[in-house]
């Protein structure tokens, strides 16, 4: 009995030490359950709202704007107008509830989000033109229109947005909506959204890899080929209600793209494994699809059809 008690005390002490060490690495603290009367953002006297912490961070040098958020449900709309990082104590228990706001979190200057749940809101996370972002180990759930919306870059830099190890699911619209940007979308679970899992507009560059994209109400990935340069590799794209991947041609974005589809498992999608579509009509240039899309070592099984005939692929490469 004594050994068990000592072990429990020792384990609790180790956990407490680890948590204190983790929290000590930040500049500003938030804990809505704090009983402190004075709120200065210190670990001893944390702010009770994230908004107050963000306001305080904006007055500090750029290397002193890391915010640690203790567990709780924070019904706030957050605007990051200066480069800031937000880190939650636990990604399932540190919850930002957009409560019907247009954007639960709006990133207007390059910032980072870690270890959070973002729920409700018209859009869960909005990355504005001119801002980059790193979003990691975060859940984006139950949004009205888009889990993550990435606005069109306003510069020639194509500011990069990285989303990794996240859960973007159960939205009443799209999981992602991505405009002209550089992106890395890696190792995410994108599932059970009522529209597309990932909706990509023209002139997007980067990588979409090692994601699980399943049970979305439309295609798993929908992308406008025009001037896009994307490597879509190592994904599991399964049981979506339209096609696994739907490539689109628009008259105003008709330049060929460079789309690599390699080593994906594309299975049990209701329509095509790979679709080629012209939503607004128009004459597609000769060999447009085959010049823009390179398929290599993908696995297709149990889709409505492997790919649309208009794509012009002679053989479905596996």
Residue 200 has pLDDT above 90, yes or no: yes
pLDDT recorded at residue 23: 56
How many domains does the structure of the chain reveal? 1
Closest to 183 in 3D by CA, of 159, 167, 151? 159
Structure tokens at 309: 């005939």
**Reported confidence tier of residue 281, pLDDT bands at 50, 70, 90:** confident
Q: Is residue 75 part of a domain?
A: yes
Residue 101 belongs to what H/E stretch? none
Supply the CATH number for residue 136's domain.
2.160.20.10
Residue appearing with tokens 């997007």: 204
What residue numbers bound the domain in which 215 lies? 63-311
Q: How far apart are CA 230 and CA 183, in angstroms?
A: 9
Q: Is residue 1 part of a domain?
A: no
Instruction: List pLDDT tens digits, range 238-269.
Output: 999 999 999 999 988 889 999 999 999 999 99
Q: Is residue 224 part of a domain?
A: yes
∠ CA 230-233-234, nearest 5°, is: 160
Q: Is residue 58 part of a domain?
A: no
Instruction: List pLDDT tens digits, range 288-312.
Output: 999 999 999 999 999 999 999 999 9
Q: How far apart are CA 20 and CA 191, in angstroms?
A: 35
Greater confidence (14 vs 32) lies with 32
Q: Is residue 100 part of a domain?
A: yes
Q: Is residue 51 part of a domain?
A: no
Query: What is the 8-class DSSP label of residue 253?
Result: B
Q: What SS3 class is residue 63? A: helix
Q: Is residue 110 part of a domain?
A: yes
Instruction: List pLDDT tens digits, range 38-85.
Output: 999 999 999 999 999 999 999 999 999 999 999 999 999 999 999 999
**Reported confidence tier of residue 194, pLDDT bands at 50, 70, 90:** very high
Q: How far apart are CA 104 and CA 125, in angstroms?
A: 6
**Reported confidence tier of residue 24, pLDDT bands at 50, 70, 90:** low
Q: How far apart are CA 29 and CA 10, in angstroms?
A: 27
Q: Is residue 69 part of a domain?
A: yes
């Amino acid at each position: 009995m004594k050994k068990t008690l000592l072990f429990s005390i020792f384990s609790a002490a180790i956990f407490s030490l680890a948590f204190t060490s983790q929290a000590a690495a930040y500049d500003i603290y938030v804990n809505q359950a704090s009983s402190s009367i004075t709120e200065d953002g210190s670990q001893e006297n944390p702010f009770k709202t994230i908004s107050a912490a963000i306001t305080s961070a904006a007055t500090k040098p750029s290397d002193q704007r890391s915010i640690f958020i203790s567990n709780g449900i924070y019904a706030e709309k957050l605007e990051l107008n200066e480069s800031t990082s937000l880190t939650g104590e636990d990604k399932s228990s540190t919850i930002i509830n957009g409560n019907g706001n247009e954007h639960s979190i709006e990133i207007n200057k390059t910032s980072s989000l870690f270890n959070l749940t973002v729920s409700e809101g018209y859009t869960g996370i909005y990355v504005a033109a001119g801002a980059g972002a790193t979003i990691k180990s975060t859940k984006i759930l139950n949004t009205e229109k888009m889990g993550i919306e990435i606005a069109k870059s306003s510069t020639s830099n194509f500011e990069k947005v990285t989303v990794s190890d996240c859960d973007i699911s159960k939205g009443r619209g799209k999981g992602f909506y991505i405009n002209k940007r550089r992106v890395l979308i890696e190792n995410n679970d994108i599932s059970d959204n009522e529209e597309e899992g990932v909706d990509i507009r023209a002139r997007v560059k980067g990588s979409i890899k090692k994601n699980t994209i399943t049970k979305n109400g439309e295609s798993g990935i929908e992308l406008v080929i025009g001037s896009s340069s994307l490597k879509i590799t190592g994904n599991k794209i399964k049981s979506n209600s339209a096609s696994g991947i739907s490539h689109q041609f628009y008259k105003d974005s008709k330049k060929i793209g460079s789309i690599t589809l390699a080593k994906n498992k594309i299975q049990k999608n209701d329509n095509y494994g790979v679709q080629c579509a012209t939503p607004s009509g128009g004459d597609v240039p000769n060999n447009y699809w085959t010049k823009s899309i390179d398929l290599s070592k993908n696995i297709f099984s149990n889709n409505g059809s492997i790919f649309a005939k208009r794509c012009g692929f002679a053989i479905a490469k596996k």
